[in-house]
Each structure stands twice: as C-alpha cells, then as structure tokens.
Amino acid sequence: MNPFDQYRRNVARVGDLLNLSQKEADALQTPDRIIEKKLKVTLGGKAQELSAYRVQFSNARGPYKGGIRFHPKADLDEVKALAAMMAIKCAVVDIPMGGGKGGVTFNPKEYSSDEVYTVAREFVREMHEHLGPDIDVPAPDVYTNAQIMGIMLDEYEKIIGKSAPATFTGKPLSLGGTPGRDTATAMGGVFVLEAYLAEKNIEGKGLKVSVHGFGNAGATAAQLLHERGFIIVGIADSKGSVMSEKGIDPNVFIHIKNQKQSIRDMYCQGSVCDESKLQTEGVTLGEADDVLTMECDVLIPAALDGVITKEIAEKIKASVVLELANGPTTTEGDEVLENRGIPVIPDVLANAGGVTVSYFEWIQGKTGRAMKRTETNDLLKEVMSVAWSSVSKAAKEHGVPYRLSSFVLAADRILQAKRDRGVL
C-alpha cells in the first residue's frame, strides 16, 4: 500500500464515521492542481533534466503550505500523498493554511552546494507563477534546509521585483526566519506528549523513553525530555543503537553527531568496542531497530517512514507511541497496535509543531513583526495543547484511535470551509 493509498484508506474510514457523500469524499481525495516540470541544469559538468513536482492539494482553509524535498526517490505519488497529509495536518492544529508539497528527483548528496543551489533557483524559475505569500508557501523538507529556502527566496524576489519574505518559511533568521523554528517539530511533539500525560494523570518525570532516529527532531526531543526528567533509555541512528536502563544523556551524543560521527562511536572504533566502558556504564549496543521493541514507556519513531511494520508492532513494549517522523507506522502495524491497545499519537498531530511555527513565520513575513524564541514556544504550546484536546475529544466521541480522530477533525474542518465557500 503506497502512501496515497494509506491516505485514501483513512479518508474512507472518516467517510463511514461522518456519513460523507461521494462528492465530499472525492473533495478530500482530489488535489486542486498537480504541476510537473523538467528542470534543465548542469550537474557534474553534464546537462541534465530533473523531474520536479508541486502538488497543491487544498487551499480551502488558506494558502497551500508544505515542504520541498530533494531526493532521488521523490515521485508524484509520494508528493501527492504528502500534500494531502499537509492539508490534514494544518487543519488538525487549526491554522489557516492548506496543503501542498514539492519535490525534485535527484540526490543532492552527490553534488556541490553551488550545484544544489542551481537546482533550487531553477525550481523557482519554473514554479514561480504558482508560488506566493497568498498562493503557495513552501518550506524545507528532506535534503533541503534554511539556506536553500534563502536561495529560493532570493530567486523569487528577483523575478517579481520586490520583497516577499512570506513566500517561504524555514528561512535563515537574517532573511526573516523565526527563532524556534529549528526546534519546533520536537518541541511541538513534547507539548503534545505532556498534554496527553496530563489528561491521563501520568507523571512524566521518570518515564522511560526510546527514540528511533537521532537527526534534528529525534535528538532535540530526547534533549527536551531529558531536561524534563524523563529517562532516555534508548537512542538510534542509521548505524545502530545505544541502550541503557540507567539512562542516557542525549547531550553527549548530540555532540558526537555534530562531529559527524555515529552514536556508537562513543564506545567503538570501527568493529573494536570498549567492553569495559560499556559494562561500567550499563550500555548495550545493537541494531537501529532494537530500540523500537525495547522496554520503555514512550516510543518515539523520529526517522524514516514505514519502520513500525506488523512484525515490529507485535513486539513493541511501549505504553504509547509518539510519531515525530512522517508515516513511521504502516497500515498493518497500526492495526496491530490498535488491537493491542497501544495508543499512537499520530504524525499529523505529533509533528505539526514545524508547520505551526512556519505559520508564525508567515505572519511575521506579512506583518514585519519579529518574534522571540520564548514567544514562539509559548504560542506553540498553546496551539498544540488545544489541538490535543480537540483530537482527544473527537476520539472519545467516535470511539476511535487518535489517528482516525485526527482525520475526522481535519476532514470536518476542510469540508466546512468548502461548504462556506459554496463549492461543496
């Protein structure tokens, strides 16, 4: 089942719960516009044509919003599914933006920064008429970053002949970026987790947390939870995992990652590991996926999609799963967790802190009013806490898991906007 098939499956379940008409169901599954271009660039000294996409899924609630990814496997089906999920995500946290997504099919890791920037500028040249602060507002995604957004903004402003900082979010601070955007995904997830625990009357301090994926989102989440008294018992990157019942200080491993090393390098040089140090610190090394099934209270998949398969879900020992990654749980895995009574706080809510702070940056770009990090985080906490309350309430009303209640809530908001516009 590809990502868009999974999205359509959730929409079908929503249709049954809300008794949607075929027209309403179709409105949730049909993108407004699919834009396909060929970018003509010179890479590695050779003229190439790269496939580029921008899917504008729904602007019923506001301008299209979503990232641009540079990835060798980026294709139309993937981008369409991600655009649909962005529409859902924005509606779940109730910000006035729609859903969009973009992609260029190439591997930026194989080229110089200047060559990657050339691709970024060519993307804007080909897509600029479909972009704008009141039309479509891109942001960073896989293998793109703040610098690339700055390059894209520069190219866009050259084309239109005026300043337009609200056209892109996730920009460098010097170009109108918002302090707090760098930690927003993880911070938003932590706020949702805290709201969940408060509702269940569970004390967070002392809970054991396992984090699969130690990139920006996973590492920052581990750091924030460690500061709050949670015990980080497992972390993993692409090279392996570090686990300890005594607890792990994520700050030590963040330092290692900043040196472009693997977390295992704390204890090993190549295949030779310091067994004495491992024993003294009570640390066990393993494969990356070992942290998915270890003993813990909170499991945070924060890396790749599709890692919680049916087989993995059957072995999970966590009491709750907080999805910081996009689509980390397969449909079959979701069914197993539901049957086992393990709640999943879904990606469309758990990792929506990023798009929420992008919304703050969009406002900043339109008004010129700068925000401080403390203000960003205070507003983010308010938005995520209210969103959790709404998702939890919908789950109780319909007797469904949080993923489905998130879709119910979002679908109802999107369809109501279409009704109010008279287009449904």
Candidates 37, 89, 101, 257; catalytic one: 101
Which amino acid does the sequence have at 193?
A: L
Amino acid at 60: A
Secondary structure letter of residue 245 according to DSSP? T
Query: Which pair of tokens denotes residue 408?
Result: 């119910």
Which of 282, 277, 257, 258 is CA-nearest to residue 267? 277
Going by C-alpha positions, the residue among 133, 155, 12, 116 that lies closest to residue 62 is 133
Phi-psi region of 105 (alpha: psi -120 to 50; beta: other; left: phi over 0): beta
Tokens of 367: 């008004």
248 sits in which H/E element: none
Distance, C-alpha 51 to centroid of its chain: 23
Secondary structure of residue 375 in the 3-state scheme: helix
Rounded CA-CA distance 209/291 in Å is 10
Alpha carbon distance 66, 85 (integer Å): 9
- Contacts for 12 with CB less than 8 Å, ≥ 6 apart: 25
* 23 catalytic per annotation: no
- Give Dmax over CA atoms of the chain in angstroms: 70
Q: What residues act catalytically?
A: 101
